[in-house]
Amino acid sequence: MSSKTALVTGASRGIGRGIAIELARTGARVAINYAGNAEAAAEALALVKAAGGDGFIVQGDVAVAADRERLVVETVAKFGRIDLLVNNAGVAPKVRADLLDAGEESFDRLFAINLKGPFFLSQLVAKQMLSQERDREGFRGRLVNITSISVYTASINRGDYCMVKAGLAMMTKLFADRLANDGINVYEIRPGVIATDMTGGVKEKYDKLIITDERGITPIRRWGQPEDIGRAVRAIAEDRFPFSTGACFDVDGGFHLHRL
């Protein structure tokens, strides 16, 4: 990866930051996107450099078309190409509302950031990749979408989140099929419960469900860490799965297992 460039959305904090650091450990160059927290983005860049990579910060709201275009233009201007796009930026609903009371504003916000943004950014980046030479392995690039166990787990107090993540899983299959012959593999990474700001407000609930309860919701009895997701993305970036596309990796402590 030393000469390769990754664009990671939402890389200022949490899972995105973990991905950026793990990629940096391979010597990659990372475009660190963030929406509003410039201080966190600066910290992420310092950590990327300390881990042996290079990078730069690019502000932009993935829900906004002009911002998406700028992310691509600035990354290519800086590093010449994009080898890996990680659609990681995402938000949870501000209020957990019962399915029967859930509002349109929250639906529109989640749809725009968690699904529309990744879709149109993938379009732009795929076109950029198609203009690039193939690498030694025959790749022009790779796309990774960070979904969630919410793809298949019904949470009736955040149905909007579940629905858009399910859409992102389908988006992975669509791009995988469309781009397979063009040297672009596409993957879904499906995290379980990961310790980040997003889950900070429900820490006690998940401490109990994962660790304290007699039989935890995950066979592996610990919280996931951003690094767990970072290591999975790194394996993709290092071309460990050249004959897989449209594949989904459960990085969830075994949450997805049906247990009796």
Interface map 217-246 toward ligand NAP (x if CB under 6 A)? ------------------------------
Position 124 contacts ligand NAP (CB under 6 A): no
Residue in 5, 7, 9, 79 binding ligand NAP, rule: CB under 6 A: 9
- Distance of alpha carbon 186 from the chain centroid: 12
Interface map 152-191 toward ligand NAP (x if CB under 6 A)? ---------------------------------------x
Position 58 contacts ligand NAP (CB under 6 A): no
Position 199 contacts ligand NAP (CB under 6 A): yes
Contact at 8 Å (CB) between 85 and 144?
yes
Residue in 5, 6, 10, 249 binding ligand NAP, rule: CB under 6 A: 10
- Alpha-carbon distance of 231 to 105, in angstroms, equals 35
Please state the closest distance from residue 35 (CB atom) to ligand NAP, in A. 4
- Alpha-carbon distance of 260 to 242, in angstroms, equals 35
**What's the token pair of residue 251?**
């990085």
Single out the segment in contact with ligand NAP by CB under 6 A; choices: 33-41, 49-57, 126-134, 239-247: 33-41
Position 249 contacts ligand NAP (CB under 6 A): no
- Alpha-carbon distance of 1 to 26, in angstroms, equals 6
Q: What is the DSSP string of 99-124?
A: TTT--HHHHHHHHIIIIIHHHHHHHH
Nearer to ligand NAP, 49 or 134 (CB): 49
Helix (H) or strand (E) holding 236: helix 226-237
Please state the closest distance from residue 188 (CB atom) to ligand NAP, in A. 11
Position 197 contacts ligand NAP (CB under 6 A): yes
Q: How many residues bind ligand NAP (CB under 6 A)?
A: 30
Q: For 153-184, b where at least 16 C-beta lie within 10 A, e where not — what string?
A: eeeeebbbbbbbbbbbbebbeebbeebeeebb
Contact at 8 Å (CB) between 223 and 193?
yes
Please state the closest distance from residue 226 (CB atom) to ligand NAP, in A. 7
Q: For this structure, is 34 an active site residue?
A: no
Nearer to ligand NAP, 91 or 163 (CB): 91
The 8-class DSSP code of residue 193 comes to S
Contact at 8 Å (CB) between 89 and 59?
no
Position 72 contacts ligand NAP (CB under 6 A): no
Collapsing DSSP to helix, strand or coil, 242 comes out as coil
List active site positions. 161
Residues that bind ligand NAP (CB under 6 A): 9-10, 12-16, 33-37, 40, 61-63, 88-91, 113, 146, 148, 191, 193-194, 196-199
